[in-house]
Structures are given as C-alpha cells and as structure tokens.
Amino acid sequence: MASNGTLCPHKLPPKPRVATLRTLFEPSVTSVDSRHEQVLDSNALVFYFPAPHTATGEESLELHVHGGTAVVKAVLAAIPKTVPQHAPQIIRYAEPGEFTRRAFYNNRLDLLQIEALGDTLAADTEQQRRLAVRGSTNVLAERYEAWRQKLLYARGELEALIDFSEDQHFDESPAKLCASVAKQVRQLKSQLQANIESASRGELLRNGINIALIGAPNAGKSSLLNQIVGREAAIVSSEAGTTRDVVDVNVDIGGFYCRFGDLAGLRQQTQTSDTEQVGDVEKEGIRRAKERALKADVVIVVLSAEVVKSSANSKINVSIGSEVQKVLNQIDLGSQKVVCVLNKADLFASNAHLSNTRSKFRRHQALRDFFDLSETPLFAISCTNTQMSNIDDKSDPSGIRAFLNGLTQLFGRMTTAAVPIEKFGTGNHSAWAESLGATERQRLLLLQCLQHLENFLAKVQDNDQNESIITDHGDDVDVVLAAESLRFAADCLAKIIGRGESGDVEEVLGVVFEK
C-alpha cells in the first residue's frame, strides 16, 4: 500500500487489528495535483487481520467507508485497479456464501454453526432470533460428537468380541457384554428421541406456527383476523359466505412467527331458501378450509353468540354448526392444538352472565364427545364493539389482549424443549433447550440414526422382559451385523457435524486393542 496504484499511496500498511484512518484515492491517478480531485472517501477506516485468527481463518483486509451508494460503488470499482494491468486478475467478487465456506474449510465454523448463521440472517421475530442463538453455540456439536464417541466405543467392544473372543479372556461374558452395550444404546435412543422431538418443535419457531380460523359463516373469523393483524386483511360483511378462499396473513405474536389462515365458513347446503344456497365456488372454499384445518398446528374455533327472541323473552344462544363438528372430530389432538373463541361477548349483560354461559358451553355434549374442554382454552371477545361498555373489565374491553396472551402462552408450551425420560437422570429442561435449534437436516439424520439403533436392539434381541435369549456364548446374537448397525448410526451423527464417514479405522482399532 506504499506505492502508486494503491488506494492509500505513500502510506505505511496499517498495524494488525488496529483501526486506521485513511483517505482512499482512485488507484489509476498518478498525478499529485489531480489526485485530490479523485478522493473516493476522505475518512475511511482500514482494518488488517493476519491469518489464522480471522473470521475465515485467512488473511483479510476490511474497508469501512461511508454508506452512500455512490461511495460504495466507487470503492468497489477502484479495488480491482490496484492490480497491475498485465498481471493476472486475482481480485473478484466473492461468490454467495464463499466467506462462510472458507470459514468451514479452515475450521472456524462447523456445519451446525453455519446453519445457525442462516437462521440468524433469516430471523424476523424475537423467538426466531433466540432460536438462531441456541444453534450458534457448540453445545449441539459437542452432544452429537459425544454420542458418536459412545457408539464408536460400543462398536469397538463388539469388534473385540468378534476378533479376539477365542484367544483372549474377557472380564464379562459375551452375553453380559451384549446386554451392557444394549443398555447404553437404549439410553442413547431415549436422548435421540428427545432431540428429534425438540427439533420438530424448533421448526415451529423457524418456519412459523400454522394457524387455521374455522367456524360457521358470519361467526367473526375475518373480523378476528383483522383485529389480530391491526388492519383490514380480510373483507368483513354481513353476507354469509364472503370468504371463499384461504386468506393467509403472517404476523408476529409475542415474538412467535404465525401464519394465520382465514377460511371459508363451514356450512351445509339447504333446500329451504335461495339465500342459503352454496355455489360451486363456495363449495371449493369449504373443501379447502377443511383441508387446511386438518394440517394446521393450531385450530381456532370461532363461535358466535346470537340473540334468540321468543314471545316471552330473549336469550343468548351459542351453537356449533354440524360441519364444524365434523372437522373437529377429525382433528389429531396428539399433534394439533384447539382454541375456542366466543365472539360477540358484548351481548352479555355482565361478566357473571358471560361466565355462566362459558360454564354451560364447556358442558356442550357436541364438544365433550371429542375432546376435554377443561384442557382447551376458551376466550370471550368482541370484534364489533371494542369498547364493550357493558363488560366490567376496563383494562381489556374487547378481550383481544387476553386472547393474544393466551395464544402466546400456548405457543410457549408447544415450543418447549423435550427431555429424555427421567429414569436416565437427564430431566433437566435447560440442558436440552439448545436442541430446539436443530435444523430439519439434523432431524432427518437423527431419525436415520434412531432407526439404526432400533435395528441394533432388534438384532441383539434385548429388552427388559426377555434378556435370557442371549446365551452365555452369544450364539443367538449376530454380533457382526449388530456392530454394523452401530457403525451406520455413528455415520449419521458424523454427517450432522460434517465429519464424513465415522468408520475411522484408527478410532475403532484404538478401542479394540484397548479391550
């Protein structure tokens, strides 16, 4: 940088890791008089980082210039001109992800940290940011490597049994050795299952929670959606069947990325009135609504309170349409969550009246038949009258805030890290929180690893009720195939952390000769 044809002529190179103030010039200008007219940036910061202690592990130079578009373009255009005209062109733009790839090749980042970096760049909500931070630590990499080492050691014990059982004396009989390895594999299997479950929950944070709003026509689904997003995302009308297709809206609720789907109202075609006829377009919308509801992570059932007048008096009625009941009966309560929302709560004279209606509704036979309402959140809201002057609660008159807080709490429970079963003594939730950061690639490889562990247990025929089938000589166990299952399982863990094949001969032989 001390000669002509540089960005900083007649200046000494900056000291390593020291911010140096420099004036950047157009390299092609050699005249001192004209050089002052070719200043690219009069106050730029220059940083020089020698290898290997850099982000990529390679020597690097950083130019911190003013952020104007013209300044950045001028500096980028000037950098290639620092190379002599007839010299090979060694300066080029980096390819997408090239710096990250170089960091990986130089062992500055592992695969898991690179995946977490991608999550960091893509994070839109607070929970997504926290998820990326969990994945950026080396906790997961260390856990996978520890599991891999356990499998290598277990495989080494079996390899020793194969190679030296006739020549050497072992402290344990073959049966006890196989049973001991199987016990370790069962413990590891439990930990893998917890990690896989947490990875699935982490995907809800990464890709968003899929939420479906279902209910009868005019129940208030579109109005509720508009209240949630704070704008008119869906058309609201007193005419039944206004929403014909799925209206998708993405929104941040309590830091959780949510994908709401406002669906067509579920109803049957009747023959009594022309106004109740369901056309082909609405039929298709209803079909799509049912399909979407069955794929949702959370199903919000919107129910409407209606005033029923009679000759004597009037009362408030809350009903569930038959088509809504059919959808609820098909919901998988093992993987889907259900939330009930009672709209038009402003019709109730007081909180006592509303509470009484809630109690009666929880005893509704149609709902009790398919799930326990005591475990299902039930919120009362008003979309048409946000002031709700007839309700005693002044802090949240519309009930929307309580509803959103309830959703946030539900999302928190849905995305809590799973832990292995307690009998292995690993029931610490905080120790397993990082497993939420496992990506879909990691989850699929863990599933493959789990399958190989199950194959191993099937080969050694080991379980708590029937361990006696392993003879003292191990004749009933195909140790060779069992060891191969452990090798395949270790391979999957090695692929997660980017170590390639895990069947490292030196590592396995180290355990073999140690035994």
- Give yes or no: residues 24 and 146 share one domain: no
Measured CA to CA, the distance from residue 223 to residue 206 in angstroms comes to 28
- Give yes or no: residues 218 and 174 share one domain: no
Residue 121 domain flag: no
- Give yes or no: residues 222 and 198 share one domain: no
Res 126: pLDDT: 94
pLDDT greater than 80 at residue 117: yes
Domain boundary residue among 361, 391, 414? Answer: 414
- Give yes or no: residues 200 and 261 share one domain: no
pLDDT greater than 70 at residue 169: no
- Give yes or no: residues 292 and 190 share one domain: no
- Give yes or no: residues 198 and 266 share one domain: no
Residue 111 domain flag: no
Q: Are 246 and 292 in contact (CB under 8 A)?
A: yes
- Give yes or no: residues 73 and 153 share one domain: no
Domain boundary residue among 369, 397, 414? Answer: 414
- CATH number, domain with residue 321: 3.40.50.300
Res 1: pLDDT: 42
- CATH number, domain with residue 54: 3.30.1360.120
pLDDT greater than 70 at residue 445: yes
- Local confidence band at 312 (pLDDT 50, 70, 90 cut-offs): low
Containing structural domain, residue 360 = 208-414
Phi, psi of 71 (to 5 degrees): -65, -45
Residue 506: count other Cβ atoms within 10 Å of its Cβ: 6
Residue 105 domain flag: no
Name the residue with higher pLDDT: 349 or 185: 185
**27 preceded by a cis bond (ω within 30 of 0):** no
Residue 106 domain flag: no
Q: How many CA atoms lie within 13 A of 292 on its CB side?
A: 25
- Give yes or no: residues 218 and 194 share one domain: no
DSSP string, 299-341: EEEEEEEEEEE-SS-EEEEE---HHHHHHHHH--TTT-EEEEE
Mean pLDDT of 372-399: 61
- Give yes or no: residues 219 and 190 share one domain: no
Residue 350 domain flag: yes
Residue 123 domain flag: no
Q: Are 56 and 102 in contact (CB under 8 A)?
A: yes
From residue 115, alpha-carbon distances to 323, 373, 496 in Å are 43, 40, 11
Q: Could you give the number of structural domains in the chain?
A: 3
Domain boundary residue among 80, 99, 118? Answer: 99
- Give yes or no: residues 338 and 389 share one domain: yes
Q: Collapse the DSSP code of 129 into the 3-class scheme (helix H, G, I; strand E, B; otherwise coil) and give the result.
A: helix
- Give yes or no: residues 408 and 433 share one domain: no
Mean pLDDT of 275-299: 80
> pLDDT by residue (tens digit) across 189-241?
999 999 999 999 999 999 999 999 888 887 777 888 888 887 665 555 555 55
Name the residue with higher pLDDT: 485 or 373: 485
- Give yes or no: residues 292 and 177 share one domain: no
- Local confidence band at 33 (pLDDT 50, 70, 90 cut-offs): low
Measured CA to CA, the distance from residue 10 to residue 7 in angstroms comes to 10
Predicted TM-score (pTM) above 0.85: no
Measured CA to CA, the distance from residue 343 to residue 238 in angstroms comes to 15
